[in-house]
Copies of this chain bind each other. A is one copy, B any other.
Amino acid sequence: MPKIVDHDAYRNELLQKYFDDFAHRGYSDVTMREIAESLGVSTGTLYHYFPTKKSILENMLQLASRRDISGAIASIKEDTPLEDRIRAFSNYIMEKEQWFADIVMLTIDYYRQQNKEGGFEMVKEADSYYGNGVAEATGLSAELGFFFTIFFNGLVFHRLAFPDSISFHDQAELFIKVFMTYLRAEGMEKNLKNEGVDSGKK
């Protein structure tokens, strides 16, 4: 019998190990040799787990979007007011800002590969992470869930491009203030999927 290896587990391990470098350097600027070396395996072994370079990007994004949702949701405690939930999300993103920036960059790489001849389909399931996941975890409507996601993706992107330009914390707090003002003005009920959450505020 051959060496016993949990193929899938090892694949994920490799993906996570190289996630950061891959995103920062960019799909096209990273070489299979470098990836292999960095992971401490031979190129042959790398190809044993990933048939093509593309498949690494594909699997990375898939893995990321899954961990993404679960991680964010886990950071939210039950039975807390809406503002706290939103702030919890915001803090979660701030803490993992680099990681979210990685996802933004890999998404661009993915988009570009997708448009190539022989490219692959966009990972539809990643879309749920953008918006629906947020909505679910906060109790907001899907539209507002996307609103939230869009802003924070924009924030992550902006700070990636211009690190010295703005403060994450300040813009995030501004967002929360603006957002909460709107929700209160409009009346919470309309914007919440689940009645009773954070209501009754005079």
Contacts and interface: CB of A to CB of B under 8 A. Distances in A.
A54 to B, nearest CB: 12
A131 B178 contact: no
Nearest to A146: B166
User: In terms of DSSP, what is the predominant structure of the interface of chain A?
Assistant: helix
B185 A181 contact: yes
Contact of A111 (B153, B160, B165): B160
Interface residues of A, number: 52
Nearest to A110: B161
Question: Quick one: copies of this chain in the complex?
Answer: 4
Interface in A73-116: 104-105, 107-112, 115-116
14 contacts: A25-B115, A104-B108, A108-B108, A108-B160, A111-B160, A122-B161, A126-B161, A127-B161, A127-B162, A130-B158, A131-B166, A147-B171, A154-B155, A185-B185
